[in-house]
Each structure stands twice: as structure tokens, then as C-alpha cells.
């Protein structure tokens, strides 16, 4: 009897071991499959997905060729994503070593799906970029994350996302054309100006196969947006009202836990709903709300403030390349001389090579053409290696009469 029990016990023990081994093999298989899945979804920045001729209304007239591309980049949440952008090549023959490259970051055009830069007419922007083409620069323009590429929503003002899109279009463009120089600069206005500063502050963008030589930030967003939002929540007068809606919408994409119903006061809710379907220009025609009719203080506003500090404002970055920052003295948006000067001081305190130019009498938009000659001079210096690497200077340019 004892012998039979022992045999039964051993058989039971053997069966348990076999089950354990089967489970272990299954676990190893699943782990291998998971690893394989993850590796197959590894982000390949700047992979060219598609190319087609671009004849839209925003195609640059001084280009010998305009094409629209889709390419891979990194989402605000670290996941791979496909976005769109355009490439414009100059009419003149490529010099030895290829056309120098600028990656252009557009300013805020809105939040709605149809507001992508390549579909948004902007004569000031196009005239500015055409001048770069006339001087022999290839011009790349990203449509950023959330527009034109994979289905999703625009994480408006998210610095890391915008910086990735601006950087990865450079890699994608080199996979399209062998006429491009490996060296490039990033240039942007407003939201794109802030994104240019994020690019300049990210270590991996300043070296590698396509070295970043410098950054030009025209009226760049920075700490002024938080000051603007704080003013609204504290009952102050709001001049550039549409920026409230698009800022809140962008932050809510990055942090879905923001409760918009609790955050918004009743008069503000229709404005936000309109911003979901209309681009920026129509939003300026909406009814001007009164002080105290915008946002509620509390947990949800604190999340907005956290987003602006950590993912929108580039002030905490250390500039890795020479930077030219341009500001109009009559800018009445969220970008003011006071807040931009503070951001410049932060960069300089960390050893950044920064030129800061204020243009007397110029507005948020008029400062773009007003500063173009200085932008060309700066670009020439950084591409030729003649720019000083130990300066942090400020100057005020008087408006031409």
C-alpha cells in the first residue's frame, strides 16, 4: 500500500513539473513574441513613407519643385507616428556639398483638423520662405503631429513633439533628395519659434549625421503663455482671446485627465467648441468676453499650468547651438518683450550663445519680414563657422521710416 502511494505521489509530482515546464515555455514564447512586437514597432525617425507633387495654394513660387511627404517621427507620448510636410528646392543649381537646409516651424494656425500649415494660406510666411529659396536654401516645412498624417488630435504647443517633427523631416528630406547639405538650421515663428528653441536645446539634435548649426526663433512662445493664462484665470483683461481656447485644447490632448467642463466658465464653453472646428482667424471674430468669464482656478487649471511649464516653455533648456531670438516691441500676443527677455536671460545664465534682437514698432507678424536681413546674416555666419561661440548680446533695432 505504501509503495502504491509512493508511485502515485511521484507520478503526481512529475505531472506538476511537466505542467510547470509547459507554462515556462509558453511564458518564454510570449515574452519573445512581445519583444519581437516591440522591436518591430521601434521608432525609426525620419523614415520616408510617401512622396507626391505638391501644387497647393501654399506651394512656394520660388521653388524649382514642391513635394509633399509623409514621414515617421515621435509622438508626444513617445510612440511612433506618421506626419506630413513639404520640401521646396531652389531654382538655382545645387552648390558643392548640396543646398543648405532650413527646417521651418509654422506659428499656431488653429487646432481643427483642416488647420495644418500646408493648407493654411499665409502671405507673410510664404514671402519670407520664398526669399530663403532665392538665396539657395532648401526649405522644409512640417505639418506637425496630429495634422495630415495618422488620425489623431493636435498636441498644440507641445515642445518635444514639435521639435521631433522639425528634426525628423530633415532626415526624411535626405532620403528624398541627394542634393541637400548635411548641415541645417531650424527657423520658426511663434509656436514654431518656441519649437526651434526646443530643437536647439535637445542634445541629440546638435550632432549626428545631420548636424544642426543654429536656430532662429522669431517671436517665440515661452513663459509668456503661462503669464497670459494666469492673467485670464485671475480675472485680468485678455487681448488675444483665441489663444485661450487653442492652448486649453492642446494641453487636454497631452493630459486627458483635464476636465474641460470644470475648467471652463459658461461663457467660454461655446468659444472652445468653435475652436475645435475653426482655424485661428475666425476665432478672432467671436464675441469678446469680459474679465472673469474665462477659466476657473483649481486642479484642472493647475494641470494646464504644469503642461505649459514642463512641455511648452523652452526656458529651462540649455542651448546647444548658436541662437538668434527676434522680438517685436509692439507684440500684443502672449509673446511680449518682457517675457522673451526673461527667457533670453535664462539661456544666457546657462552659457547659451544667444543674440537677442528687439525691433522697435514691429508686431507679432510684421517682425517676420523686418528681421529677415538679420536672419540671413546669422545663417551665413553659422553655416560658414564664423559665428562667435562666446557671446550673449541684446540689441534694439529701430523701425525703418
Segment 261-307, tens digit of pLDDT? 999 999 999 999 999 999 999 999 999 999 999 999 999 999 999 99
What band does 388 get if pLDDT is binned at 50, 70 and 90? confident
Grid cell listed for 347: 539661456
What band does 9 get if pLDDT is binned at 50, 70 and 90? very low
What band does 24 get if pLDDT is binned at 50, 70 and 90? very low
CB 60 within 8 A of CB 88: yes
Higher-scoring residue by pLDDT: 383, 28: 383
Considering Cα of 217, then 223, then 226, then 230, what sign does the dihedral take?
negative
Range with lowest mean pLDDT among 199-213, 217-231, 275-289, 318-332: 199-213
Element holding 21 (H helix, E strand): helix 2-40
What band does 392 get if pLDDT is binned at 50, 70 and 90? confident
Nearest to 134 by CA among 184, 74, 89, 188: 89
CB 232 within 8 A of CB 294: yes
Instruction: Name every residue whose Cβ is closer than 8 Å to that of residue 275 and which is 6 or more positions away in sequence.
Output: 110, 111, 112, 242, 245, 246, 249, 283
d(CA 72, CA 82) in angstroms, rounded, equals: 4
Whether residue 26 is predicted with pLDDT greater than 60 in this model: the reply is no
Question: pLDDT (tens digit, 9 = 90+) per residue, 118-129?
Answer: 999 999 999 999
pLDDT averaged over the chain? 88
> Residue 149's pLDDT is what?
53
Whether residue 16 is predicted with pLDDT greater than 80 in this model: the reply is no
Other Cβ atoms within 10 Å of 26 Cβ, number: 10
Question: Could you tell me whether strands 212-218 and 323-328 are parallel, antiparallel, or unpaired per DSSP bridges?
Answer: parallel
What band does 148 get if pLDDT is binned at 50, 70 and 90? low
What band does 218 get if pLDDT is binned at 50, 70 and 90? very high
Instruction: Name every residue whose Cβ is closer than 8 Å to that of residue 77 and which is 6 or more positions away in sequence.
Output: none
| Domain 47-222+314-397: top CATH class | alpha beta
DSSP reduced 3-state for 101 = strand
Q: Say how many CA atoms lie within 13 Å of 165 toward its Cβ.
A: 34
Residues of the chain with pLDDT > 70: what percent? 85
> Residue 208's pLDDT is what?
72
Residue extents of the structural domains in the chain: 47-222+314-397, 225-309
Amino acid at each position: 500500500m505504501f509503495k502504491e502511494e509512493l508511485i502515485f505521489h511521484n507520478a503526481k509530482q512529475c505531472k506538476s513539473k511537466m505542467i510547470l515546464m509547459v507554462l515556462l515555455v509558453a511564458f518564454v514564447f510570449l515574452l519573445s513574441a512581445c519583444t519581437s512586437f516591440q522591436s518591430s514597432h521601434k521608432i525609426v525617425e525620419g523614415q520616408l513613407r510617401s512622396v507626391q507633387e505638391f501644387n497647393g495654394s501654399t506651394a512656394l513660387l520660388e521653388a524649382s519643385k514642391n513635394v509633399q511627404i509623409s514621414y515617421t517621427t515621435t509622438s508626444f507620448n513617445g510612440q511612433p507616428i506618421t506626419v506630413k510636410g513639404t520640401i521646396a528646392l531652389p531654382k538655382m543649381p545645387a552648390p558643392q556639398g548640396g543646398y543648405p537646409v532650413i527646417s521651418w516651424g509654422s506659428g499656431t494656425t488653429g487646432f481643427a483638423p483642416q488647420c495644418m500649415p500646408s493648407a493654411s494660406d499665409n502671405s507673410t510666411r510664404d514671402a519670407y520662405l520664398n526669399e530663403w529659396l532665392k538665396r539657395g536654401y532648401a526649405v522644409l516645412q512640417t505639418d506637425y503631429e496630429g495634422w495630415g498624417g495618422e488620425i489623431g488630435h493636435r498636441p498644440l504647443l507641445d515642445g518635444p513633439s514639435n521639435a521631433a517633427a522639425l528634426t525628423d523631416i530633415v532626415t526624411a528630406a535626405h532620403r528624398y533628395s541627394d542634393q541637400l547639405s548635411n548641415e541645417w538650421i531650424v527657423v520658426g515663428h511663434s509656436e514654431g519659434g518656441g519649437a526651434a528653441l526646443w530643437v536647439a536645446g535637445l542634445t541629440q539634435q546638435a550632432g549626428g549625421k545631420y548636424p544642426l548649426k543654429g536656430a532662429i526663433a522669431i517671436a517665440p512662445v515661452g513663459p509668456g503663455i503661462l503669464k497670459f493664462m494666469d492673467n485670464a484665470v485671475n480675472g485680468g483683461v485678455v487681448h488675444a482671446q483665441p489663444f485661450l481656447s487653442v492652448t486649453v485644447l492642446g494641453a487636454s490632448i497631452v493630459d486627458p485627465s483635464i476636465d474641460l467642463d470644470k475648467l471652463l466658465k459658461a461663457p467660454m464653453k461655446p468659444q472652445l467648441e468653435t475652436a475645435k472646428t475653426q482655424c485661428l482667424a475666425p476665432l478672432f471674430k467671436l464675441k469678446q468676453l469680459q474679465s472673469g468669464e474665462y477659466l476657473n482656478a483649481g486642479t484642472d487649471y493647475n494641470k494646464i499650468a504644469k503642461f505649459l511649464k514642463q512641455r511648452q516653455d523652452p526656458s529651462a533648456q540649455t542651448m546647444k547651438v548658436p541662437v538668434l531670438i527676434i522680438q517685436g516691441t509692439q507684440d500684443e500676443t502672449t509673446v511680449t518683450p518682457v517675457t522673451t527677455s526673461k527667457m533670453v536671460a535664462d539661456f544666457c545664465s546657462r552659457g547659451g550663445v544667444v543674440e537677442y534682437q528687439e525691433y522697435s514698432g514691429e508686431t507679432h507678424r510684421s517682425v517676420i519680414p523686418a528681421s529677415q536681413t538679420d536672419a540671413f546674416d546669422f545663417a551665413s555666419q553659422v553655416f560658414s563657422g564664423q559665428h562667435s561661440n562666446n557671446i550673449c548680446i541684446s540689441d534694439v533695432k529701430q523701425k525703418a521710416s
